[in-house]
Structure 1
């Protein structure tokens, strides 16, 4: 009897790891799934739950890898397959509509879309995509916010960009123009020849002094000016009461 009990114990010891290992995998898969989609522990384990959890982990890892990839060179994102699949050839702000009350949109966009850990319901075209980074070398992205006809930056009420990102956008465009990445026009002003002439008395040369006799000054305005006697008489008559 003792030998039979020892054989049964050895058999159970061999079977326990093969039974406990699938149960542990099933529990870990259930913990990874959302709360609403968890099933009761009486349902037999399935490989589909483990696959769904693994797919979620892969998507999260790919998103984190993409953030690190485009952080140092954000201009590469506009040429990637993800961007073309998401936006195509249209600008990132095309088709965006902000959530607001009533049928009339507000005159100004919101101040910011992200406040600490809180994100608004419908972020602006720049805040909703973490791979879109405003940089002065990201020329293709900056050109989407500049009018090709006037060269001015689009108003945020048209693009839907929040005021915080709009300020960064203006700074990036100004820096890109200073570094020569974006062209800009300087207004042409026509100057007439009169502006550069040196014949005017104010900018012309002083005429040479004339031949002077003894006692004469070089120029007439240096000599004494004798007033007209008739004009002096009129002034004296007018202010006679005030003259002593």
Structure 2
């Protein structure tokens, strides 16, 4: 009977030696320990149970992230009033304290084109791409106001906020749309008009002369008639461009 058990054990070792290796290592460690600690140790647990627990935790976190994305997809402005946003950013804008990693002491003169290509996110993404709950929308006024200067009313330069060029383009479109819908205030540029723009003294905007004042062969307006140029001005121009004129 004992010989049959030994033959079965040898057969198992030949087929899959890696299966019994953790058990042998565990038994050898138990032999080296004292008797008290040996009795207090728990029974051997295969490593695949730990892997299943870690995988289940990762699946739960992924499900929570997907649920958060769906929750703020239709109403992205609710994220700025949530406890999660306040705990992460506080009263600061989303781009506060952001610094892009770069080689050397001189930062790049412009931000990257995009942070997300396909399903891959680059290292050290911009303040908008790093948080999937920050969604640019023309109704998300509180988010748009974080990127508008209160002094000039213009968007901050991307080198100051660190936003990639793709998200900066979306910001420009969202701000213009919000201003068209009246969600964001904007200032009309001041234009100083001259009095000549409203004067009717010029013949082009003045009253049309009566037909009887026209002589035969005369044009209706004086600038339509033949104008003879000044001979002195013509001679001066010919002298200047003499090398380029054809003889």
1:117 aligns with 2:137: no
CA separation in 2, counterparts of 1:113 and 1:224?
Answer: 72
Query: Alignment partner for residue 177 of structure 1, among 159, 176, 179?
Result: 179
- How far apart are the structure 2 equivalents of 1:146 and 1:108? 19
Q: Structure 2: how far apart are the matches of 1:93 and 1:183?
A: 22
Matching residue of 1:65: 67
Could you say what secondary structure the match of 1:111 adopts?
Answer: coil
1:113 positional shift: 1.3
SS of the equivalent of 2:124 reads: coil
Task: Give the unaligned 5+ runs of structure 1.
Answer: 1-22, 35-52, 210-217, 226-244
Structure 1 pair 29–65 and aligned structure 2 pair: CA distance change class (3 A): farther
Question: Cα offset for 1:87?
Answer: 0.4
Normalising by the residue count of structure 2, what TM-score does the alignment of the two structures yield?
Answer: 0.62
Unaligned runs of 5+ in 2: 1-42, 219-247
Aligned residues: 175
Moved more, 76-85 or 106-115: 106-115
> Which of 40, 51, 62 is the aligned partner of 1:31?
51
Q: What is the alpha-carbon root mean square deviation over aligned residues?
A: 2.7
Pick the aligned partner of 1:186 from 168, 185, 188. 188
TM-score by length of 1: 0.63
Give the Å deviation of 1:158: 0.8
Residue correspondence of structure 1 range 192-231 to structure 2 within 5 A: 192-207=194-209, 218-219=212-213, 222=215
- Residues 110-119 or 125-134, more deviating: 110-119
* Pick aligned residue for 1:99 from 91, 101, 122: 101
For 1:76 and 1:148, the matched residues in 2 are separated by 23
